[in-house]
Structure 1
Amino acid sequence: MLVAGKLTFIPQKTEPANQMARHWHAVLLQMIAQNDPALATELHNVSGVKPFTIGLTPELLSTNKPTILRQGQEYTVRITFLDRKVAEAFNKSLLYYTQNFTESSNPLITLGKNQVMLRTWQATFNDTDRWCQTTTYEQLLNEAVASNGCEIRIVTPLSFRRGNINYPFPDPELMFKSWLLKWENFAPTHLLLGQREAMESPKNPHEASLLDKINQEVAISDYNLKTVTIDYGKYMIKGSVGWIRLDWHRFPAHMRYLFDLLVRFGQFAGCGYKSTMGLGQTIKVQRKP
C-alpha cells in the first residue's frame, strides 16, 4: 500500500513554529505508538530508510523569518506511507482524534509547546489536488510508461548528505538512488527491481554501471529553483525548492520505463536527507503537449 495525504490541524494558542519538522516526526510516532508500541519503537530505532515521510507546507517552513502558528487558524502537513502496517496504525489513531470532531471536545495532541486539534485527513486522488493519493506498488507498475523524460516539482526543500556536508541541489543520480533504495526496501518481494545490493554496496559493479549511466545520460534540461533553510534547533539545513525538467530519451525503453516508475514512486517515497522530517517531497508534473 502507498498512501499520500494531507492532515489539517488547528493550534490552540499563538506560538512560534520553531522546529516544526522535528515536532511532527514526534507526533507521528506518538500516534503510531497508541496502537502499536513495538512498531513505533522499531521505526524510531531503525537507522536506514523509513516507510513514511513528512512534508511541511510553505506556511510551516522555518526560514530566515520566524514562522508563527496562529490560534484558531487551520494549517496542513503532508504525510506519506510506504507500508500498509504503518499506515493502518496511523489511521486507527487518527480516528480517535477526528471521528467525533467538535470545536469544544475534540482530543488535543501536543506539538512542541503547543496543543493542536487534528481536523481532517485527505488521502484520495482528484484532478485538482494530485498531492493526495492511495494506491499500490502494482498500480504504479501498471501506470508507468517508457517516457523520454518528465518535469518534477520539488515541493519541500530537497537536500542530500555528502560526507559531513549538505548538498542542496537536485542531482539526478542521487534522486534515483534514493527512490530505488526505498522501493527495494518496502515493495512486495515479487515486485522488487533487483537493485537492493546495487544501492547498498558502492563497490558493486552493477550499481556503478547504473548510476554512472544516470549521471552521464540523464540531463537536467531546464529548471527554476531557489533555496530554503529549515530550522532543526541546534542546526539549520538548506534545501532547494522549485522544479526541474529531466531528459532521458537516450536510454532503451526498459530503462525509460524504470525512470518513469521511480519518479511516480517519489511522490510517496520522498527523496534525499531528512525526508521523515519535512524535506524532499516531490511530484511528477505532466508535460504540456
Structure 2
Amino acid sequence: MFYSVIVRFYAKRDIYFSYYPAESWHGMLFKMLRKQDKDKTTILHDEYEGKPFTISPILPYLRWRKDKKYLKGGKKYFVRITFLEEQWYHLFMEYFLYQREKLELNGRELEIIEVLTNAKEDKRCNAISGEELWDNSRINRKIKLKFHSTTSFRVDEKHVIFPQGEFLFNSLLSKWKEYGDKELVVNSQDFGKINISRYKLESAMEQFKDYPIKGFRGYCEYELEAILSDKKVKEINLLSDFAFYSGVGYKTTMGLGQVARIR
C-alpha cells in the first residue's frame, strides 16, 4: 500500500531556519519512528538505499526574515508525508496514539493540530495499493505533470535541472522496482521515446545544511511516441500516477521532488 498523510501543526514560538526547513522535518520524522521501534528505524536509516517515504516542504511556503526562512509562531502550517511501505505508515500513526512527548522542530515546541489520512478530509490524502493504481491507469499518450516543489536529478555527480523524460521516468521506475507489486516491461530505452511538448518552468535553488541544490518548479507536458505499445503506455501512465506517492529525483525525503499528475 502507498499512503499520503497531511500533518497540520503550529509552533508556539517563531522558528528561524538557516537551511531548507524540510531537512529539519526529516530529522524529526526519524526521531518519531525511533521512539516506536529503534531497531527497525536503524535499518531504515542505514540499509535502505531508496527511502520508502517522502516529505513535502512546510506549507504555506515560509517567508524570508533576517536572511533566514521564518516560521511564525501561532500560525497554522502543514506538511504532506507519503509512505511506500505499510510498516512505516503504521509506526508513524502509532506515535500519535501512544507517545505523549512534545515534538520539537529546531528546538521549538510544535503543537500537532490534526493528522489527516482520508481523501474526504483532504484531497491530498489517500491510501492505495499498486494493483489499484494499475487498474486506474489509462492508455494516454499525453501526460501533464506539476512539479510542486523544487526538483533536481542527480546524474554523474551533477544536478540536472530540466525534466527530460529519461531522467524523470528512470527515477520513477527505480522506486517502483523497490516498492511496487507488479513487474513492468517498460525500460530505460523506452523513456527516450517520451518527448516534452510544452513546459512552463522556473529555476530554483534550495540551501541545505551542507550545500545548495539547484532545480526547477512548474508544469511540463509529455507526448509518447506511437512506436510504444499500449501496454508500455499504460505502464508509463502508472508511473506518472505513482509519482504522487514516490516523488521524483533527488532529496525527496527532505522536501524536494513533490510532483502530481494533472488530468
Structures share fold, TM-score greater than 0.5: yes
Aligned equivalents of 1:121, 1:162: Cα separation in 2: 36
For residue 220 of structure 1, give the secondary structure of its aligned residue in structure 2.
strand
Structure 1 letter corresponding to 2:47: V
In the alignment, structure 1 residue 183 sits paired with structure 2 residue 176: yes
Among candidates 102, 112, 115, match of residue 118 of structure 1: 112
> Which secondary structure state, in structure 1, belongs to the residue aligned with residue 42 of structure 2?
helix
Identity %: 26
Indicate the residue corresponding to 1:82 in structure 2. Answer: 84
Corresponding residue of 2:236: 259
How many residue pairs match? The answer is 260
Which range moves more in the overlay, 84-93 or 16-25? 16-25
Partner AA of 2:55 in structure 1: I
1:63 positional shift: 7.8
Match of 1:240 in 2: 216
Distance 1:277 1:73 in 2: 22
Deviation at 1:130, TM superposition (A): 4.0
Match of 1:154 among 115, 127, 147: 147
Q: Which runs of 5+ in 2 are unaligned?
A: none
Distance 2:11 2:58 in 1: 15
**Matched-pair contact (CA < 8 Å) for 1:63–1:230:** no
Offset at residue 142 of structure 1 (A): 0.7
Deviation of 1:66 (Å): 2.8
Which amino acid in structure 1 is aligned with residue 82 of structure 2?
T
SS of alignment partner, residue 119 of structure 1:
strand
CA contact (8 A) 1:6 1:77 kept: yes
Q: Which SS does the other structure have where 2:254 is aligned?
A: coil
TM-score (structure 2 length as normaliser):
0.91
Q: Is the 8 A contact 1:149 1:249 kept in 2?
A: no
1:180-224 Cα shifts (integer Å, max 9, x gaps): 111111123xx23267xxxxxxxxxxxxxx323312x21111111
Tell me how far apart the structure 1 counterparts of residues 122 and 143 of structure 2 sit (CA, whole Å).
Answer: 19
TM-score using structure 1 length: 0.83
The alignment status of 1:280 with 2:241, answered yes or no, reads: no
Determine if contact 1:108/1:118 at 8 Å carries over to the other structure. Answer: no
1:51 alignment partner in structure 2: 52
2:69 aligned partner: 67
The equivalent residue for 1:207 is: none
Relative to structure 2, which stretch is displaced further, 226-235 or 71-80? 226-235
Q: Select 2:102's aligned residue among 92, 108, 116.
A: 108
Runs of 4+ in 1 over 6 A off after TM superposition: none
Q: 1:8, CA displacement in angstroms?
A: 1.1
1:5 corresponds to: 5
Q: Which one has the bigger strand percentage? A: 2
Which deviates further from its counterpart, 113-122 or 132-141? Answer: 113-122
Distance 1:120 1:183, change over 3 A: same
Q: Distance in 2 between matches of 1:61 and 1:139?
A: 35
Contact 1:61 1:230 in 2 (8 A): no
Shift of residue 234, structure 1, vs aligned partner = 2.2
Matches within 5 A, 1:221-232: 221-232=197-208
The secondary structure found in structure 2 opposite 1:86 is: helix
Secondary structure, aligned partner of 2:220:
strand
Question: What is aligned with 1:193?
Answer: 184
Measured in 2, the distance between the counterparts of 1:6 and 1:262 equals 22
Q: Counterpart of 1:84 in structure 2: which amino acid? A: E
SS of match in other structure, 1:265: helix
| Post-superposition CA distance 1:11-37 (Å, at most 9, x none) | 111121333122111111111112111
Q: Secondary structure at the match of 2:252?
A: coil
Structure 1 vs Structure 2 CA RMSD: 2.1
- Deviation at 1:124? 2.0
CA distance in 2 between counterparts of 1:23 and 1:58 reads 14
- Alpha-carbon separation, structure 2, partners of 1:154 and 1:36: 33
- Counterpart position of 2:30: 29
